[in-house]
Structure 1
Amino acid sequence: MPEAGHRRSHLQAPIGSAATPELAAAVADAGGLGMLALTGLTEAEAVDWVRRVRQATNRPFGVNFVLDFPITDTLAACLDEGVPVVSTFWGDPATVTGRIHPAGALHLHVVGSVEEASRAVDAGVDIVVAQGWEAGGHVRGQVTTLALVPAVVDAVDPVPVIAAGGIGDGRGLAAVLALGAQAGRLGTRFLTAVEALTHDIHRRRVIEAAAQDAVYTRCFDDRWPNAPHRAIRNSTLSQWEAAGSPTAPRRPGENEMVATDTSGRTRLRYGVGMPLAGMTGDTEAMPLYAGQSAGLIREIAPAAQIVTAIAIQAGQIIEALRQRPSTTAR
């Protein structure tokens, strides 16, 4: 069946702290590539998460690190565990490629422009992830997926390219494959996976959202300034925009504690952390990261069902296009 091969053509984006070992393992078991987001975790925490994935699946998976933060020791611990894939974001991939490759892992790096893609290839990365402006969470560039992916494919050939940003179903996957990408990377779609640690409020807002509700902004920047992102409009974002989008420390509700996590730590209104299951307080005020593909998502489902449905739809579309009569004039 044509759809079977397309299960290997999509990846689960790291989606921050919502990406649990259970989610990564379920995606991997279903034929996709599951990912863990490990920036900010201690070495022991990262090793525990990696081992939990390994206990749940024997399929390949990956770990993601944001290079704007200290990740040296945690990356080393993951490489010692033999993780097969390391994804990096922001920062210079050349600072870590020399450690990733000797450990036998593949190095993926996320880019937002052709220039950045070329620099990543020069640094020695194995695969380039071209992230379009439609993406949720932190957004690297300002070019849409439709325009960015084929330009990056042309610029870095024969290095493989994975497309990210705005892909919410099999139609989007089929489209980026047609643009020359070898795979698609989906984040927002997996926020509504049963296995994700997404807070119920965040999950519900994703399901209810229209594409235009996912706003490109710099609102939530405590601990990570100058890092634009896309999140669903909420009370904090609306109040901040109404005040003229001021910078810190002049934002409305500056330094206000809005929620508490399961370990008792409080969370700031403009903090970068997303609400997770078990948090209490005004969690709606926290960043509800999501891409414009939120407008396509209308259900909560197990990760395996999501992977399978996307693969089937993409395979059916590609097969239908193959069988479509040519309209070339004779």
Structure 2
Amino acid sequence: MNTSTLTTPLCRLLGIRVPVIQAPIGSAATPELAAATSRAGGLGTLALTWTEPQQAVEQIRRVRELADGRPFAVNLVLDFPIDDVMTACLNEEVPIVSTFWGDPGDLPARLHAAGVLHLHTVGSVEAAERAADSGVDAIVAQGWEAGGHVRGEVSTLALVPAVVDAVAPVPVIAAGGIADGRGLAAVLALGAQAGWLGTRFLTAREAATHEVYRAAVLRAAPQDAVHTRCFDGGWPDAPHRSLRNSTLTAWEAAGSPAAPNRPGEGVIVATDSQGRTHQRYADMVPIPGMTGDVEELALYAGQSAGLVRDVLTAERIVASICDQAQRITSGA
């Protein structure tokens, strides 16, 4: 099916064909996933906040090698020291940078001076207005349904049109609760110019998702994705949404105590392929090669997990979303 009618002004700005953006799903976001999404006409993203500059360079070059000249993005969290990795990204001439969890301040000016487009994620109208005033090129309005770390407290359905109205003509990308073409069509109707999907890509074949994690996403119901502060190791005071597992259940049963009084505090529950150990309550997700009780790690996912029921390539994910959205928006 021809999905060219889904192309929005933001798509043209970003150099993509369809309004599907793969969210930076932490350690599960591989160069192969980002490149495959971009080759499919969407925008793939690398999550580089906790990556050493040289590793970031290697991942960027790998995406560029695989992406057939298509644009891609890197994501950085402003709550952490990111200047060194940002410099590495700019030296590698990445085309698009997305940021999260903080005020962009004068960063848009720095990125624009380097010829880079800047997307920034917010969770409220007020934060969107500040970001627009700072000069970002597009705003990601993240609804409360989203997986991983969640900035705001308002649902996607209510937040997106409010942000669209507040920051026009700055384009808005909708995040949270989108997993198929119905969700994409809905947010386009709300005035967004693209959808930002994370949970849907956790089951992509190219994602670095441990099979235990992948299986948990595939069997999840919407209510299994819990908004919590349980997995705060490495990122304190940052609410997030994760699938219910044994760690979360035991912590809630104990009255949701603060660290260091949580059940099993400090216990190592998994070891990765490089021999690094990971404790319960860390903000690390299970990745391939991990051994141990990996189910006890954070299983970040949004409420849209209840709509994810298959394992596909990123190309098929993008195509199926866009085909369904095209049928809906065309009235077919």
Q: Please confirm whether the aligned pair reaches a TM-score higher than 0.5, indicating the same fold.
A: yes
> How many residues are aligned here?
321
Q: Does residue 103 of the first structure (1) align with residue 114 of the second (2)?
A: yes
Alignment match, 1:208: 219
Alignment match, 1:249: 260
Percent of pairs with identical residues: 66
Alignment match, 1:30: 40
Alignment match, 2:64: 54
Q: Does residue 228 of the first structure (1) align with residue 239 of the second (2)?
A: yes
Cα distance in 2 for partners of 1:92, 1:215 equals: 26
Alignment match, 1:121: 132
Cα distance in 1 for partners of 2:237, 2:225 equals: 19
3-state DSSP class of the match of 2:300? coil
Cα distance in 2 for partners of 1:2, 1:197 equals: 31
Alignment match, 2:204: 193
Q: Does residue 183 of the first structure (1) align with residue 194 of the second (2)?
A: yes
Asked whether the 8 Å contact 2:271–2:290 carries over to 1, the reply is yes
Cα distance in 2 for partners of 1:119, 1:139 equals: 18
Alignment match, 2:20: 10
Cα distance in 2 for partners of 1:266, 1:96 equals: 35
Cα distance in 2 for partners of 1:100, 1:260 equals: 37
Q: Does residue 170 of the first structure (1) align with residue 214 of the second (2)?
A: no
Structure 1 residue 123: Cα displacement: 1.2
Structure 1 residue 4: Cα displacement: 3.7
Task: Name the amino acid aligned to 1:188.
Answer: T
Structure 1 residue 222: Cα displacement: 1.1
Cα distance in 2 for partners of 1:255, 1:130 equals: 35
Asked whether the 8 Å contact 2:23–2:45 carries over to 1, the reply is yes
Q: Mind listing any 5+ residue stretches in structure 1 that lack a counterpart?
A: 324-330
Of the three residues 79, 84, 87, the one matched with 1:68 is 79
Structure 1 residue 252: Cα displacement: 0.4
TM-score, normalized by length of structure 1?
0.96
Q: Does residue 39 of the first structure (1) align with residue 73 of the second (2)?
A: no
Cα distance in 1 for partners of 2:50, 2:19 equals: 29
Cα distance in 1 for partners of 2:309, 2:5 equals: 26
Asked whether the 8 Å contact 1:94–1:123 carries over to 2, the reply is yes
Task: Name the amino acid aligned to 2:270.
Answer: A
Asked whether the 8 Å contact 1:2–1:316 carries over to 2, the reply is no
3-state DSSP class of the match of 2:227? strand
Alignment match, 1:326: none
Structure 1 residue 99: Cα displacement: 2.0
Structure 1 residue 153: Cα displacement: 0.1
Task: Name the amino acid aligned to 1:265.
Answer: R
Cα distance in 1 for partners of 2:142, 2:63 equals: 26
Cα distance in 1 for partners of 2:72, 2:211 equals: 26
3-state DSSP class of the match of 1:63? strand
Task: Name the amino acid aligned to 1:316.
Answer: R
CA RMSD of aligned residues (A): 0.9
Q: Does residue 238 of the first structure (1) align with residue 241 of the second (2)?
A: no
Structure 1 residue 263: Cα displacement: 0.7
Task: Name the amino acid aligned to 2:251.
Answer: W
Cα distance in 2 for partners of 1:56, 1:10 equals: 19
Asked whether the 8 Å contact 2:138–2:170 carries over to 1, the reply is yes
Alignment match, 1:144: 155
